[in-house]
Amino acid sequence: MTALPADPPAKSLGLVIDLDVCVGCHACVVSCKEWNTGGYGAALSDQDPYGPNVSGTFLNRVHSFEVVPEGGTVVGEAGQARIVHFPKSCLHCADAPCVTVCPTGASYKRGADGIVLVDEAKCIGCGLCAWSCPYGAREMDLAAGVMKKCTLCIDRIYNETFAPEDRVPACVATCPASARHFGDLGDPDSDVSKLVVERLGYDLMPEMGYAPTNKYLPPRPRQRSAGCTGAPAAALTPAAPSPPGLLGWLDRLLSR
């Protein structure tokens, strides 16, 4: 078994993920895979990538759910379906069970910044950490035979060859919707901590008692403009009749 740091980490670096603005584009998934395939640790392998049984190792995945609220205003109007995109990666728990269950010391939590990592040289691929993680955030790399997980891009965030504004995880740098934020959640005056307070951010499954560092911001109620009934919009009337000849044909073709 492996011990957690005796004292609380000096920092608690983590992510704040805004479920209200995530559009489920998977840009964060792709940038994470690209960065971590060429960076820290062994490459993130794929199996049968062009065959019928494709599978692979991803440190960040996005799951999409259709939610039909029964009431209340947190997700939307009662009875109206809404798609919620849910990005998921390691939450760098304060009381990480994946660390304490590890028989070799391969899984560990850093005292300086709270990041949970895997030392691949010590990992025997037993999978106990994956069984202990209630968030499904561990990924066995079948080619390397070792466990992988989000590193918060430690090879970016401390990389002094990068401009200061680029020293953020690849997923944060890539997100086109600015749904992902990075910072010290142990500092109540940090921008991410203020954002969590302002938007009523929450822990995932707090009842498990593992105190995840990452926070999620809930979807906000939909806003409708005055007079909007929610009925499908009427067909738009063209501003001008279609031009004659070749231009008209092209216009009609592109309008299909």
The residues in 3-22 that bind ligand SF4, with binding defined as CB under 6 A, are: 22
Minimum Å gap between C-beta 223 and ligand SF4 is: 19
Binding mask 70-109 for ligand SF4 (x = CB under 6 A): ---------------x-x--xxxx--xxx-----------
The residues in 25-44 that bind ligand SF4, with binding defined as CB under 6 A, are: 25-28
Give the tokens for residue 1.
Answer: 């078994």
Cβ-based neighbours of 124, under 8 Å, separated by 6 or more:
103, 104, 106
Tell me the window of 36-44, 131-139, 193-201, 225-233 that interacts with ligand SF4 (CB under 6 A): 131-139
Give the tokens for residue 45.
Answer: 């392998």
SS3 category, 84: strand
Minimum Å gap between C-beta 98 and ligand SF4 is: 3
Q: Which is nearer to ligand SF4, 10 or 23 (CB)?
A: 23
Buried b (16+ CB within 10 A) or exposed e, 217-250: bebbeeeeeeeeeeeeeeeeeeeeeeeeeeeeee
Region of residue 177 (phi > 0: left; psi between -120 and 50: alpha; otherwise: beta) = alpha
Minimum Å gap between C-beta 213 and ligand SF4 is: 8
Q: Which residues bind ligand SF4 (CB under 6 A)?
A: 22-28, 62, 85, 87, 90-93, 96-98, 116, 133, 135, 137-138, 149, 174-175, 177, 179-180, 210, 212
